[in-house]
Structure 1
Amino acid sequence: MLSDALELPFRRNTPFRFESAVTHGHFLNPLGLTNVVVIWRDPRDLLVSFYYHCYFINEHQNADLVAMMKAKKPFKHYEDIRANLPAFIRFLTKKPVSPDFTWVQFAQMWNGRPGVVQTSYEALRTDTAGELRRVAKALTGRPLPPMRAAQVVETHTFARAKAAAEDKRPKSVEKSFIREGALGVWRKHFTPEAEAALDAGGYTVPMARLGYVPEGAARP
């Protein structure tokens, strides 16, 4: 969506090229990075999504990751996410995979970092066009016309992305990478034990700094 708005090529998890492009990736070290946009998401939703990515083959060539995770952290019933999530969180805290750093480390490095444009999945879901315009202007210094923003948003709706994924879905796909797109899906899967695993893994403080209040905690 951002690459469309800026009329630039989009590169996902590919080596850097000498070109102007929007490059998607997961980076802990800021050295050499310019015009960075960090998109935050409630780590509980992120962990549920990542569980699916680790244990079910999707459209994004994750078969090797699935095989590795099933070898390193197997479960009896992979569909029982609610039961498996606490152990999954504890495993990632000690042995992060793809990328090889934890969400906590990433948050400590990037939250509030000067010169970095910060946005969130939640802000984009609440006012997609408005947030897209804000991010585009922060990057370029030029306003993105409202009509252009609306056109880009319409082109990249979740419904369109999901339909496109279904149309192109290979037979090998067990669960699509594009699943629900809703906020707060973690509530279906998180238990008090999973919340405790988050706390033990150091998530609580950086979560609160980003406005993601742990269940049962008072919002400041």
Structure 2
Amino acid sequence: MSSVRIKGRWPAVRHKAFVRGFSGLAPYYLVNEFPKSGGTWLAQMLSDALDIPFRRNAPIRFEHSVTHGHFLSPLGLRNVIVLWRDPRDMLVSFYYHCYFLNEKCNAPLVRLMKARCPFEDYTNIRGNLPDFIRFITQTPASPRFTWPQFVRVWAHRPATVQTSYEALRTDTTGELSRVAEVLSGKPLPEGQAAEVAERHSFARAKQEAERARSPDAEISFVREGALGGWRRHFTTEAEAAFRQNGYEEALSLIGTKLFGERKANSC
């Protein structure tokens, strides 16, 4: 491995080492998710609600703070909030993140995916999604584990706080209050969760992301966020790839309760 590549990976390696070593001491509140499940949004709201730092895109420090990551192994981790999202919505969002430049420096991932899993027309999401699902499940590149593997480790894991993107979108105030109280051991002041939810509403996040877009960004990191948007992109073949690669079985391990009234029915 070249020194340039090692230098490029060092911040992520350092971050994971700090979180594993000190999550129970600092302590860190770790929002742990498979990519594109809403982790940044939840981390920002928890930081605001609990009045502790979330140093996004900055070196981690030894301090009481919120942090965010994609951890498969639970080794050394404490104070973990496991965030779920309907895997079909996640897969569509992850496809966009893998193939279109955004303002969050995803160019290395886009280059990697276009080299390892190329398509003739990247905008043909309905046509490409089946092969994309098969690729990231059978030969995962970034992260180097799959969503079904993540489920088998983290679903209903003791001593974790479990929530979902769907629950947060459906009742942001109520679910944020619940998660914050479990973490801190005390309820938020009356009205605070509602104020935080308003400050971090999807509409505001979308506006801020659009303002921050660089000239070379093809899409915004905050793209759509709709519940059930996968239905516009999943074909019969994509549904088959979803089942055959273990997503439906893994989804049954989580259960439907975390997804609120929008039960994650099978395809």
Fold agreement, TM-score > 0.5: yes
Q: Deviations over 1:17-59 (max 9, x none)?
A: 3211111110001111111001100000000000000000001
Q: Which moved more, 1:12-21 or 1:22-31?
A: 12-21
Do the aligned partners of 1:133 and 1:146 also contact (CA within 8 Å) in 2?
no
Question: Which residue matches 1:25?
Answer: 69
Matched, 1:56 2:100: yes
Classify the secondary structure of the residue corresponding to 1:135. helix
TM norm structure 1: 0.94
Highest RCO, 1 vs 2 (Cα 8 Å, sep ≥ 6): 1
C-alpha contact 2:151 2:253 (8 A) present in aligned 1 = no
**Partner residue in 1 for 2:193:** 149
Q: 1:72 aligns with which of 94, 101, 116?
A: 116
SS in 1 for 2:162: strand
Q: What displacement does 1:14 show?
A: 6.4
Shift of 1:214: 1.4
Measure, in 1, the Cα distance between the counterparts of 2:192 and 2:156.
29
CA shift, 1:161, in A, is: 0.6
- What is the percentage of aligned positions where both structures have the same residue? 63
Show CA shifts across 1:150-205 (max 9, x none).
Answer: 11111100111110111121101001111111100100000111111111111112
Residue 175 of structure 2 is aligned to residue 131 of structure 1: yes
Aligned positions of 1:58-207 closer than 5 A:
58-207=102-251
Displacement of 1:12 after TM fit? 3.9
Structure 1, unaligned stretches of length 5 or more? 216-220
Look up the equivalent residue of 2:163 and give its one-letter code.
T
- Give the SS at the match of 1:93: helix
Any idea what the Cα deviations from partners look like across 1:60-90, whole Å, max 9, x if unmatched?
1011111111111110110010000000000
**Length, aligned pairs only:** 215
Question: Which amino acid in structure 1 is aligned with residue 77 of structure 2?
Answer: L
For 1:113 and 1:15, locate their aligned partners in 2 and report how far apart those are by CA, in whole Å: 28
Q: Distance in 1 between matches of 2:95 and 2:78?
A: 30
**Stretches of 4+ aligned residues off by more than 3 angstroms:** 11-17
C-alpha displacement of 1:13: 6.7
Q: TM-score, normalised by structure 2?
A: 0.78
Identify the residue that residue 265 of structure 2 maps to in structure 1.
213
Counterpart of 1:49, as a letter, is S
Structure 2: give runs of 5+ residues left out of the alignment. 1-44, 257-263
Instruction: Report SS of the residue matched to 1:11.
Output: coil
